[in-house]
Amino acid sequence: MKWMELVTVAGATLVSALTVVVLYSLGVRLTAIAGDVRQSNPAWVRPLAYACFGMCGLAILFGLYLIIPYFSK
Q: What is the pLDDT of residues 9-63, one digit of tens each?
A: 999 999 999 999 999 999 999 999 888 867 777 888 899 999 999 999 999 999 9
Does 53 reside within a domain?
yes
Structural domain tally of the chain? Answer: 1
Contacts of residues 38-42 at CB distance under 8 Å and 24 or more positions apart, as own/partner, are none
Residue 73 lies in a domain: no
- Distance, in Å, from the CA atom of 55 to the CA atom of 38, rounded to the nearest integer, reads 29
Decide if 72 is inside a domain.
Answer: no
Sequence letter at residue 37: V
Range of the domain at 55: 3-67
Residue 18 sits at φ, ψ, to 5 deg, of -65, -40
**Cα–Cα distance for residue pair 29/23, rounded to 1 Å:** 10
Write down the pTM of the prediction.
0.81
Burial (CB count <10 Å: 0-12, 13-18, 19+), residue 4: exposed
pLDDT (0 to 100) of residue 21: 96
